[in-house]
Each structure stands twice: as C-alpha cells, then as structure tokens.
Structure 1
Amino acid sequence: MSTPPSPALHFSLRQWSAWAPGLESREAWLAWDGTLPAGDSAPKVAAMPAMLRRRADRLGKMTLETLYADDIAYQGQPLIHASRHGEAARTVPLLQSLAAEGKVSPQAFSMAVHNATAGLFTIATQTHTPVSAIAAGNETALAGLVEACSQLADGAPSVLLCFSDEPLPTLYQRYADAPEAPFSLVLNLVAGHGFSLVAGAAGGRDATPLELLHFLLGNGAVLPLAMRGGWQLVRHTA
C-alpha cells in the first residue's frame, strides 16, 4: 500500500457529475477519451423551479444541471464554485451598455457576478450553506482543490467542488491562452487518503478542470496541476 506524504493536503472522491454538449450522461463521460467537448446546446435543468431556472444563461444551466444531478444528492454541504471566466457572456454586454449609456441593468448585473449561479442554487434548495467563488486563471483547477482540501482539513465532512466554464465571447477570444470548451463538473469530496496534493515537483504544467476530471475517472498515478510551485495530484491505491 502506498502512503501519502504527511504534510500533503488530501481527500477522497465520494461522487461526481458532469455535463457538456455531446457528453450528457454518466456513461458518455466514463467512455470519454479526454477530447474537448464542443457545441451550443444547454441542459434543461428540469429539477429547478422554472421561475429561478429562467434567470440562468447557458453557463449557469450547465452548472445547475451538475449540482442537481442524482449522483450528487446535495445535502447542504459547503459549495465551492470555481470558474476561470465566470459569466463573461453576460459581462460583455454590461460593459458595452456602461460605455454607451453610462448605466447597466441591475437584474443583468446581479446574475453576472461570480457567485450568482451558486447563490441561485442555494435559493432554490433553501439552504444556508457556505459558498466560495474562485477564479484563478490557468491555476483554477489547483485553486479549487486547495480550497476544498482546506475546508475538509478544517472539519467539513464533505465539500462540493464545482468547476464550470465556456469559451470566451468573440470580443475576448484573441486573449485566450489555452483551448476552451463548454462544461460543468461537480466533485463531492470527503476527508480521506485517496488523493494528495503535493508541491515541489519539477517540470509541472497547468492542468484544466477537464483534465482533472479525466485523471480522477482514470487510473493514472500523477497529474501535474501547476507549474508555479510544482503542484501535483497523486493517486494512492491499495
């Protein structure tokens, strides 16, 4: 049996859910080869009351679909929503309106902030769970895991870690520094020693949330997570 290094942040994966165009079932994800999904479709989010559901754009609907998944069976645990770009599709029109008219729609602004979708979910489920919103550039996967592991180490019995993103709007696409795809995924993490986050390795790279999911669903031993600090995710097996 391999033993995780004692100073590492560690966790076990209890359950997961994911949604992307063309990858709309658990079986599709389990057979997924890691190719980036593409498409314009959006989930129906049938589990959410229509009055709240209609406030969500595609990114929000993808996020909500994975949070409502039967496999997750949400029980009010702390929620972390990590998204590199957030509601960029809403933000661009707001900025254009601000530049042209000097004002923006309060309702449109309220759904453009980074924690809007997570807040919508807690309203719909009538829970008072702590919510954290994270955006950390190309280190968003690492930042989400560090936050989740820290909450587990602080005593949370389980944490929901949600990643979601979609390609940047046309206006900003020339600034994209990595291939992008529409997706959402939720990891139900618990205290345990299934995986460890360790720092200090040489030759790392910045992994995306989709690469993180592909690693978790596979059987690889190590996933380089971030160049800065040499962070890696290590799998521990019996």
Structure 2
Amino acid sequence: MSTASPSFTLTGWSAWHPALPDADAWLDWAARGGPLPAGDGAPPLAQMPPLLRRRAHRSGRMALQAMYDAAPGDDCAIVHASRHGEVERCLGLLQALAAEGTVSPQQFGMAVHNAIPGLFTIARRQPLPVSAIAAGRATAWAGLVEALAQLADGASRVLLVVADEPLPPLYQPFADEPQAPFACALTLAPGTQWRLDWQADAAAASAETAAATVLRALLTGQGCRWRDQGRRWRLEPTA
C-alpha cells in the first residue's frame, strides 16, 4: 500500500547542462531517453551582479542559472535539493583543515547547503523562504516531497531546484551513479496534474539518477518509476 499520494501541477521549468543549450535540446533529450550527455563548463550567470556571482562555484552557478531562468515571483518558496552541494569547495575546505588546521570563514559560509539559494534571494532582494535537502541517491525525490509538503501547508508556489556536478577525482572511486553537471528548477503549484507515490521496495536500484528520471518524466508527460534505498518512487500524470 502506498504511504502517500500527494498531487501537484507543474507551472514552469528550466534546466542547465553544458551540452543542452535551450528548451528544445532538453525536450529532445527527454524524448530520446538515455543518460545526460558528457559536458564541462559553467553557465555565464550574467543576470547576477559580479560581486555575488564570483562567490559561487560551478555547482552553485548551475543552480543559480536555473533559478534565474525560472524567474520565481515574490510568492514562491525555494527548496534546494543537492546530494553533494558545492563538493569541490567542500573538498578544498577539508584539505585546508587537514593541512593548516583552519579554514576561510567566507569559503565555509558558502559551503553550507542553503548558501546558494540564499545568495539568490540576496541578489534578487526577495526574502523568499528557503529549505535545503540532501538524501543520498534519492535527493531529488526528497526535495519533491518537501516541496509538496510546503504546498500542502499553504504555499502558493514552490520552486524545486535540483543541482549536482561530477565528484572530484579523489571521490570518484565512491561514485554510485552516473556523473554529469546538471541543474533544473521546477515551479510547482497546487493541482492534480501529477501524482507522487512511494512505498517500501527491496528491488535492485535504478541505474539513472533520480533527478534525470524526474525531469524526463515531467518533460515527456509519461511518468516514471525509480528504486533505491529501500523505496520505490512513482510519478505519474493523472490524465
């Protein structure tokens, strides 16, 4: 039996990947299936003032670009879901701590999971509520649950931002899913267009990342199933 089946309507989306430059490229990727393509680089993030822009590393710049492209209004809460956050910055902090016994306060401040959406609210001068989520391979699903919980609690709209980048070489031996730079921003509102369901399931884990699975389902309108960490997640259109 399902533990829950909340519903929502998708009112907008944006995504960033170095090899998928526009909405048509994303829709083609979704229709063709398969993993995200290889790619490198970071978005220009021209909308953000330079003094703030330079504080974000690649993962943060990807998330910020997706947020700017989504253009949330003053009534939109933000849920930032990232499994590793700004992992290159965090690794540098750990290496500095091991070598010198201290770290840069500014670098540490930007390493916490809610720093990137916080930077966005500062740049846009919008005091939007922000939540940050990390939940292993199921991070995108956990972010979706948090966003739907906020809608159920009365939020008029929630911007779900999912972003991650490939692990640094030092961590690559521990990678357990495909590695690709990726960010998307999904604007969710109350409604019955889509329904989320999850339940216990010990079947073998899905190979594709949760974020790519969710985005492809929403762009194609075909729904999806995904398994890992003892759960089976199902996202389906209601009509």
TM-score with structure 2 setting the length: 0.90
1-side partners of 2:215 and 2:133: how far apart? 18
1:233 corresponding residue in structure 2: 235
Instruction: Select the residue among 193, 210, 213 that pairs with 1:211.
Output: 213
2:14 corresponding residue in structure 1: 17
Shift of 1:97: 0.7
1-side partners of 2:98 and 2:224: how far apart? 47
1-side partners of 2:176 and 2:142: how far apart? 18
- Aligned Cα root-mean-square deviation (Å): 1.9
Contact 1:167 1:180 in 2 (8 A): yes
Shift of 1:201: 7.1
2-side partners of 1:139 and 1:59: how far apart? 18
SS in 1 for 2:137: helix
Percent sequence identity is 50
SS in 1 for 2:185: strand
1-side partners of 2:5 and 2:222: how far apart? 19
Gaps of 5+ in 1: none
1-side partners of 2:227 and 2:181: how far apart? 20
Shift of 1:224: 2.8
2-side partners of 1:17 and 1:201: how far apart? 31
Per-residue CA deviations over 1:94-123 (Å, capped at 9, x if unaligned) read 111101110011111111111111110010
Corresponding pairs, count:
231
SS in 2 for 1:46: coil
Contact 2:151 2:157 in 1 (8 A): yes
How does 1:127-142 map onto structure 2 within 5 Å? 127-142=126-141
1:106 corresponding residue in structure 2: 105
Per-residue CA deviations over 1:28-71 (Å, capped at 9, x if unaligned) read 111113432322211111111111111111111111111011xx
Contact 2:66 2:183 in 1 (8 A): yes
How does 1:26-105 map onto structure 2 within 5 Å? 26-32=23-29, 33=32, 34-69=34-69, 72-76=70-74, 77-105=76-104
Task: State yes or no: 1:181 paired with 2:150.
Answer: no
2-side partners of 1:204 and 1:224: how far apart? 10
Shift of 1:24: 1.7
1:126 corresponding residue in structure 2: 125
Per-residue CA deviations over 1:165-218 (Å, capped at 9, x if unaligned) read 001111111011111110100000011111111133755745510111011111
SS in 2 for 1:63: helix
Shift of 1:225: 5.3
SS in 2 for 1:68: helix
